[in-house]
Amino acid sequence: MHVASLTFLREKYPAADSYPFSLDVFRKTGGLTFAAPVTIFAGENGSGKSTLLKAIARKAGIHIWSGIERQRPHYNEFENELCNYIELGWTDEPVPGSFFASEIFINFAQNVDEWASLSPGTLDLYGGRPLTSQSHGQCHMSYFSNRYRKRGLHLLDEPENALSPRRQLELVRIIRECASAGDSQFIIATHSPIIMACPGSVIYSFDRIPIAPILYEETDHYMLYKSFMNDRKSYLP
């Protein structure tokens, strides 16, 4: 493993009433330990899991691809500042890494294809085919299959968004194989019970305060999906 712990510098938070510092999960959690090569962040929308994932990326010096910035009616100067109020406990020295989020991946894919027009060998790093010529799911799997075999800290934000259940199982296989090799560490924010089931992973619930480990069968995601499959009529009008 590359990162063994994360500490929230709560006494230094700049604004108690502004997001993300207003979230109880960040105000009442002292820190997290990473005891397994795969860590899952589970929780409802708005619980803070993606925000923390991005903060880890920024703190670790991992680039987050972004698209065109659009003007918003309300500007929050603290929105991207959580990275300045956490500490990462590295087991040795910082390592390279990657940040994946489906909503921004298209910008990365377009850049890769543009680079390949000048250096065709670039595509060999991602399966040999232009990424933008593939479906969203195929494009994502080409990236997963090749990028995660490289040593580093890999952060994934809801990677299931463009993947069928079968592809999600394939992603779990890739993650497990790469993690077992000992060179890759994964931290994944997800709503997918399939990805949460990755063998050997530790699941942190952001629906609990403070953030705490939770068994797979105790997650709201697992219980809701199981209940729905057993009696879907009770959930549908």
- What are the pLDDT digits (tens) for 88-147? 999 988 999 999 988 776 666 666 666 566 676 666 656 666 666 666 667 788 888 888
Residue 161 lies in a domain: yes
CA distance linking residue 65 with residue 47, whole number of Å: 22
Confidence at residue 69, expressed as pLDDT on a 0 to 100 scale: 53
Residue 225 lies in a domain: yes
Closest C-alpha to 26, from 4, 1, 6, 44: 6
CA 218, 224, 228, 229 torsion: positive or negative?
negative
Interstrand relation of 38-42 and 202-205 (parallel, antiparallel or unpaired): parallel
Residue 10 structural domain? 3-66+77-96+154-234
The encoded tokens of residue 28 equal: 């009442």
Whether the pLDDT of residue 71 is over 60: the answer is no
21 vs 16, more confident: 21
Give every CB contact of residue 204 below 8 A, 6+ residues apart in sequence.
32, 39, 40, 41, 42, 211, 212, 213, 214
pTM > 0.85? yes
Q: 5 - beta bridge partners?
A: 33, 89
Indicate the residue type of 132.
Answer: T
Confidence at residue 113, expressed as pLDDT on a 0 to 100 scale: 63
Residue 140 lies in a domain: no
CA distance linking residue 169 with residue 194, whole number of Å: 7
Q: Which of 62-76, 156-170, 200-214 has the lowest mean pLDDT?
A: 62-76
162 vs 30, more confident: 30
DSSP code string of 169-209? HHHHHHHHHHHHTTSEEEEEE---HHHHT-TT-EEEETTSS
Residue 141 lies in a domain: no
Residue 160 lies in a domain: yes
Domain containing residue 81: CATH number: 3.40.50
Residue 223 lies in a domain: yes
Whether the pLDDT of residue 72 is over 60: the answer is no
CA distance linking residue 217 with residue 236, whole number of Å: 23
Interstrand relation of 202-205 and 184-189 (parallel, antiparallel or unpaired): unpaired
Residue 117 lies in a domain: no
The encoded tokens of residue 64 equal: 């987050």
Under the banding of pLDDT at 50, 70 and 90, the label for residue 36 is: very high
CA distance linking residue 123 with residue 23, whole number of Å: 41
Confidence at residue 65, expressed as pLDDT on a 0 to 100 scale: 78
When divided into structural domains, the chain yields a total of: 1
- What are the pLDDT digits (tens) for 151-200? 999 999 999 998 999 999 999 999 999 999 989 999 999 999 999 999 99
The encoded tokens of residue 19 equal: 């997001």
CA distance linking residue 127 with residue 139, whole number of Å: 10
Residue 196 lies in a domain: yes
CA distance linking residue 136 with residue 161, whole number of Å: 9
CA distance linking residue 102 with residue 197, whole number of Å: 20
185 contacts 34 by C-beta, under 8 angstroms: yes
Whether the pLDDT of residue 74 is over 80: the answer is no
Average model confidence (pLDDT) for the chain?
88
52 contacts 41 by C-beta, under 8 angstroms: yes
